[in-house]
Amino acid sequence: MCKKVNRREFLATSTAFLSVAAEAEILQGKALTSAAQAVEADQVAPGVYFHEGSLADNAPAVCNNGWIIFDDYVLVVDANYPAGARMMISKIRSLTDKPIRFAFDTHHHGDHAYGNQVYVDAGAVPVAHTGVIEEMRRKEPRNWNEDLKYRTDMKDTKLKAPTVLFPKELYFDDGTHRVELMHLGVAHTHGDAVAWLPKEKILFTGDVCVNGPFNFVGDGDTGKWVATLEAAKKLGATTICTATVRVPSRRCSTISRRSSKSSRIRCIQGW
């Protein structure tokens, strides 16, 4: 008999949550600087950055993040949890004073979307595929209230749904950078979307693809997921930035740059 495991249980068993003490330090601004310094962001292409999150107990940023610095603004890939959002804003501010205009939620899960209000407070707009709103209507605020029991960084912010929505695709293009947000089908959830940079051939996958032998399948459709991954593979990415990493030394961007084609394909197939 199968045991039904909800998302919080899954993440808890993956040691995804902050200790209360660590969260308190972050909220007080004590740990943010050292934490930000401890985890370096990778520049995967000019103006394109990747930050590796952590599933460790004391990690403010759980999911991986990306951001693209356009001529006039910054687009962030995934809002993360509130502490992660604050960390990313701090790191982006160390690189540029351009306004952070958009926070793209690859899907509705808390480690990707619960930092939305932090970005709104910073002047940005949360953006997502329409399926994210539909998932939130079904599951919120129940999921928020569950995570609130464990994440002290959520206490001084609130659930904020995306307010710029796209049914299939949304493009950002300033002539130098082009980012195509694309819903390729149902996968990890019913609202997944990826960020595709055709010039650099970089793909930010969200949890459609993770860099390890694990994933949460309770909100998606494993049958449709295969077809969605095939659609992603056809984009021809040479650098794949996944949304969650379990083994820090095996970040997907590094794998893409340094290892064989078979490794890249194994990654995009979700292992």
Binding site for Zn ion (CB under 5 A): 109, 207
SS3 56: coil
CB of 10 to Zn ion, least distance (A): 9
Q: Which residues contact 214 (CB under 8 A, 6 or more apart)?
A: 14, 246
Using alpha carbons, select from 36, 9, 62, 87 the residue that is nearest to residue 243. 62
Nearer to Zn ion, 52 or 207 (CB): 207
CB of 107 to Zn ion, least distance (A): 5
Instruction: Name the residue type at position 216.
Output: F
Nearer to Zn ion, 109 or 151 (CB): 109
CB of 224 to Zn ion, least distance (A): 16
Q: Exposure pattern of 31-48 as b/e (b: 16+ CB <10 Å)?
A: bbeebbeebebbebbebb
Nearer to Zn ion, 192 or 200 (CB): 192
Q: Which residues contact 169 (CB under 8 A, 6 or more apart)?
A: 180, 181, 182, 183
Nearer to Zn ion, 100 or 210 (CB): 210
Distance (Å, whole) CA 113 – CA 127:
10
CB of 188 to Zn ion, least distance (A): 5
CB of 103 to Zn ion, least distance (A): 16
Nearer to Zn ion, 62 or 69 (CB): 62
Length of the chain: 271
